[in-house]
Amino acid sequence: MASKHYEDVLNYCSDILSGKIISGQYTKLAVMRFQDDLKKSQSPDYPYKLDISKADAVIDFAESLIIPDITPTEENPKRQLRLLPWMKFVYLNLFGWVYKNDAEKRRFNDAYVEVARKNSKTTSLLFGIILWDFLTTNAAESYMVSKSDEQSKKSFKELQNIIKENKELADSLSAGSQAITFQSSRIAFFCDGSVGVDGYKPSLGVIDEYHEYDSDRIVTAFRYGGRARKNRMTIKITSAGLDISKPCYAENL
- pLDDT tens figures, 39-48: 999 999 999 9
Instruction: Identify the pLDDT of residue 204.
Output: 94
DSSP one-letter string for 139-155? T-EEEEEESSHHHHHHH
User: Which of 208, 204, 116, 123 lies closest to 157 in space, CA to CA?
Assistant: 123
pLDDT greater than 90 at residue 70? no
Write out pLDDT tens, residues 83-137: 999 999 999 999 999 999 999 999 999 999 998 888 888 888 889 999 999 999 9
Burial 48-63 (b: 16+ CB within 10 A, else e): bbbbbebbbbbbebbb
Q: CB burial class (10 A; 0-12, 13-18, 19+) of residue 124?
A: buried
Instruction: Identify the pLDDT of residue 54.
Output: 97
Neighbouring residues of 115: CB distance < 8 A, sequence distance ≥ 6? 121, 237, 239
pLDDT greater than 90 at residue 52? yes
Neighbouring residues of 134: CB distance < 8 A, sequence distance ≥ 6? 140, 142, 180, 182, 185, 186, 187, 204
Instruction: Identify the pLDDT of residue 178.
Output: 77
Distance, CA of 142 to chain centre: 12
Taking the C-alpha atoms of residue 93 and residue 106, their distance in angstroms, rounded to an integer, is: 10
Give the three-state DSSP class for 134. Answer: helix
How are beta strands 204-208 and 233-238 bridged, if at all?
Answer: parallel
Cα 246 to Cα 4, 111, 143, 145, 199: the distances in Å are 39, 18, 22, 17, 25
User: Which of 100, 97, 89, 117 lies closest to 29 in space, CA to CA?
Assistant: 89
Taking the C-alpha atoms of residue 245 and residue 211, their distance in angstroms, rounded to an integer, is: 10
**Mean pLDDT computed over 12-39:** 96
